[in-house]
Structure 1
Amino acid sequence: MRDTWGRTIDYLRISLTDRCNLRCRYCMPSDVPSVGHDEILRYEEILEICNAAVSLGINRFKVTGGEPLVRKGALSFISKLTALPGVCDVTLTTNGQLLNKALPVLCQAGVSSINISLDTLSASQYANLTGGGKLDVVLSALRQALTRPVRIKVNAVLLEETVSQILPLAELARDWPLDVRFIELMPIGCGRQMKGVPVGEAFSRLKQVWPDLSPCRHHGNGPAVYYGSTSLTGHIGFIGANTHQFCHSCNRLRLTSTGVLKPCLCYEQGISVRDIIRSGLPDRQERLRQAVTRAIMAKPEQHQFSDASRITEHKTMNQIGG
């Protein structure tokens, strides 16, 4: 389905929960309260919403959180989502702390790609950034994932304090067949209080090491721009939402764990579908279709991350869906 700006919207990011087993400072610090259990969509409700979305041409899904794997039954839900008629692609974003045990089921379900959040390869810095996370657990899961038939992507948020980690993280793509993606810090929630680094600086640093870095084919459903080198086994990607706006090609909606369809990360505006799906009305599937359509048509032409006064979204990233 096309929005009012002519963009094809075929991708939905689903937040299963706002809860997480880590406390990353730019996302979910310890003082952020969790949403009540009754406010969170049940899995069968999410599947109903996905059915409505598929009927409108949305056939690619990202499962995220918070940390999606902390929610009981997440693996069963993912298996049902990948089996839903009309779904062509399901991917997962995770911090990797619970990934090792989940890998067999994820691969059996047909998840095509797993994004692992990893901002530093310094164990002490990782623990500090994440509120006590164990780097060795993530790296163990990463190694295991590379033995499976699934594409692996490492997501690294570019922070002023982790500039020294740009090259070590990129070297993962030198040694292993994976994508390392450097992502600009979103000025949303707690990210407003931290200093980020533009993707251009990261690219310049890496170009000095790999002078032949050149654009290569697109990987996946998102906005990352990928580069390859004859010296790399994998690829390096950049997502520069702040400095390299890609709104003209935005293809997504977000579904929060509380049942709000968000047209754009920058704005508080959203369309709640929770009451529709819990109404018990026999025509609720058509009402859901109408709600998804309204969300698509409400997508703005572009975000305004460059002007803090025009950002109306004040929730933290875990509450919105990472």
Structure 2
Amino acid sequence: MLVDTHERAFFYVRLSITDACNFKCNYCLPNGYRKTQSHNFLSLSEISRLARGLAQAGVRKIRITGGEPALRKDLTEIISLVAQTPGIEEVALTTNGFNLLQNIDAWHAAGLTQLNVSIDSLDPNQFALITGSNKHQAILDGIYRALARGLPTKVNTVLLKQYNLHQWYQFLAWVKDTPISLRFIELMQTGDNATFFADNHVRGEQFLGHLQKRGWQLSPRSATAGPALELAHPEYQGNLGFILPYSDDFCASCNRLRITARGALHACLFAEEGQSLRHLLQNDSDIPQLETWLQGQLQHKTATHGLHQANSGSTSHLAMLGG
């Protein structure tokens, strides 16, 4: 088991497989993706060794992220090799859903156990304004296809004061009859979005009391769950979640590490810099060293992030580490 000096155990890794993205979300990449270095992303063999090493270190859940992970043509193979790794119990995928409808059957067959899709508006025009994409209906169709296959599906929505806050009740109406987990994510300040953050940040905590007064109840978290506070209501098929990075105790329950598409460990989304572990992924004989290396890196993990001091570390935008 991986444990840091603050007695937090880490069962969950978010693995980026590319930093490229084909959307232009106004809170992340308003000018679109711009290649700044060689792609040279982790290969299938490196990902296989990484998954085996993480499993041996006690990791039970791997979430595949980007950028946009579905831009990699070998995504189905990546899902399969991670799912077939002894010890890995959950294989999740976070995607913008641009080609979800065409691929969800193959991803599910390959071993995907959980799907997260980003939808920041249920209105097609507003969705296009936020993301720069006209794929709104295709993404919804992909979500319904995933639900029809029985795949647990979550939808991520970044709260934006000027763009989707007025659609709050539309989102609630959707969850009434749709068995999804809709998670509202509080906008986070990064190196590139200071002005946008100031204009659009909404504190998500204000919604919790409002919902609890109307019959919504907090659900227990599993050991491999992400940071969302989940709420359920007996009259709703779906549930709600809130990711509140500016809440006082947000980091106390941290159970996840991040690895970039080029093999750098980030113990925190807002760490100053990542530490490369790629040298431990070149030969099968190196795999046993990974746990010791990771445990050593965790000794430097801080108790909390620096967002309250407007310090986002080296994270210039969320696509570079998959959020």
Give the TM-score, by structure 2 length: 0.91
- Secondary structure at the residue paired with 2:83? helix
What is the correspondence of 1:302-321 to structure 2 with a 5 Å cutoff?
Answer: 302-308=304-310, 310-321=311-322
| Equivalent residue, structure 2, for 1:181 | 183
Matching of residue 217 in structure 1 with residue 220 in structure 2:
yes
Is 1:199 aligned to residue 200 of structure 2? Answer: no
- What percentage of residue pairs aligned between the two structures are identical? 31
User: Contact 2:15–2:63 (CA<8 Å) still a contact in 1?
Assistant: yes
Deviations 1:178-212 (A, max 9, x none): 1111111121244433222111233456567xx11
> Which residue number corresponds to residue 18 of structure 1?
19
Tell me the SS of whatever aligns to 1:181.
strand
Post-superposition CA distance 1:63-99 (Å, at most 9, x none): 1111111111011110110011111111111111111
TM superposition shift of 1:29: 2.9
Residue 291 of structure 2 corresponds to 289
Matched with 2:132 is: 131
Pair 294,180 (structure 1): closer, same or farther in 2 beyond 3 Å = same
1:32 Cα deviation from its structure 2 partner: 4.2
Which residue of 226, 251, 261 maps to 1:247? 251
Q: In the TM superposition, what whole-angstrom CA distance separates every residue of 1:229-262 from its partner, at most 9, and x where no partner exists?
A: 2221111111101125321110111001111100
What pairs up with 1:158-169 in 2 under 5 angstroms?
Answer: 158-161=159-162, 162-169=164-171
Q: Distance in 1 between matches of 2:7 and 2:208?
A: 31
State the Cα distance separating 1:46 from its structure 2 match: 1.8
Give the corresponding residue for 2:232.
228
Q: Root-mean-square deviation (CA), in Å?
A: 2.0
Q: Does the residue aligned with 2:63 lie in a helix, a strand or coil?
A: strand
Match of 1:39 in 2: 40
Contact 2:229-2:241 at 8 Å conserved across structures: yes
Q: Deviations over 1:118-154 (max 9, x none)?
A: 1111111111111133211111111111101210111
Q: CA 1:296–1:120 in 2, change beyond 3 Å: closer, same or farther?
A: same
Q: 2:308 is aligned with what amino acid?
A: S
5+ residue gaps in structure 2? none
Q: What's the counterpart of residue 7 of structure 1?
A: 8
Structure 2 partner of 1:258: 262
Q: So what's the TM-score if we normalise by structure 1?
A: 0.91
TM-superposition CA deviations, 1:158-190 (whole Å, max 9, x none): 111211122212322111111111111121244
Is the 1:270–1:295 Cα contact (8 Å) retained in structure 2? Answer: no
Q: Which amino acid aligns with 2:273?
A: Q
